[in-house]
Amino acid sequence: MADSTGKIVGIIPARMAATRFPGKPMIKICGMPMIGHVYFRSQMSRLLDDVIVATCDAEIFDYVHSIGGKAVMTSTSHQRASDRAAEAMQKYEKASKFKVSIAVMIQGDEPMLNPATIDAVVKPLMKSERLIANLMTTLEADHHADYNDVKVVVDQKFRALYFSREPIPSTKKSKEKINLWKQIGIIAFKRDFLLKYLKLPSTPLEKAESVDMLRVLEHGYELQMVPVFDKTYGVDVPEHVPLVEKLLKKDALAKKYLKDQ
């Protein structure tokens, strides 16, 4: 939903050399590479004007074009998804002649993505002074210690206080029920703040936790979290694929795009 300041664009960073799961974007789930699921589901967002895949791998680039999608080749040197997304955004602007107002970074390992959640993370940035917003959802107690889940604690206005891969907050002493939240890999940036964020020096906690968003907090910026309650499962390791495939076989959104492939 473009406005006078520019387009709202979804950017899906993807590379074959993932540390924990090499080749992950092209692993087939229900007969389709995972990046295809994420692309088609992102296109169902009501607020995104365009969706592009940002990659440094010809295999991913060629596949996205083969399904009628848009892909941008980026540098092989990027260590963070946000760096790759920023390069792709600038190349998209140059090629399309359109300026971006909001860039939504969508992780390529969320094949069960609900497009409505993209709209949810975009809305706080529209017609407001907020610079960045991030999705979160409830974390099941038995996943509290799972290193693959990035936990987040928030204040009463859902502004992020801290992120960690460790089990936060503590549940050992409280007699009251404590909400446990985990980060979902969909982050909306105002265009200029994405470029500014990349120029901010990396921070000690960001490195210690391996969580990009701690750089935002450590430099003193407000980060708005947006709660959503869809049950979704990302693919972090090969063992996650069978579960996600089983769920996607029953998924109404998947049926809409898989029938045409």
Is residue 151 included in any domain, yes or no?
A: yes
Q: Within a domain: residue 223?
A: yes
Provide the residue range defining the domain that includes 171: 7-258
The total of structural domains in the chain comes to 1
Using one digit for the tens of pLDDT, what is the confidence trace for 228-259? 987 777 888 888 899 999 999 999 999 999 87
Of 226, 229, 225, 228, the closest CA to residue 159 belongs to 225
What Cα–Cα distance (Å) separates residue 106 from each residue in 81, 177, 178, 243? 9, 31, 28, 21
Q: What's the pTM value of the predicted model, to 2 decimals?
A: 0.91
61, part of any domain: yes
**Residue 4's pLDDT is what?**
56
Whether 1 is in a domain gets the answer: no
The answer to whether 203 and 214 have CB atoms below 8 angstroms apart is: yes
Residue 1 has what pLDDT?
61
The answer to whether residue 94 is domain-embedded is: yes
Q: How far apart are CA 26 and CA 31, in angstroms?
A: 10
Segment 210-235 shows an average pLDDT of 91
CA distance 134 to 208: 20
CB 50, CB 9: distance < 8 Å: yes
List of residues 6+ apart from 162 with CB closer than 8 A: 152, 153, 168, 214, 217
Query: Using 50, 70 and 90 to split pLDDT, how confident is the model at 215?
Result: very high
**Is residue 9 classed exposed, middle or buried when 0-12, 13-18 and 19+ CB atoms within 10 A define those classes?**
buried
Flag whether 123 is in a domain: yes
Question: Does some domain include residue 230?
Answer: yes
Contact 73, 56 (CB under 8 A): yes
For residue 12, what pLDDT band results from cuts at 50, 70 and 90? Answer: very high
Whether 125 is covered by a domain: the verdict is: yes
CATH number of the domain within which 212 lies = 3.90.550.10
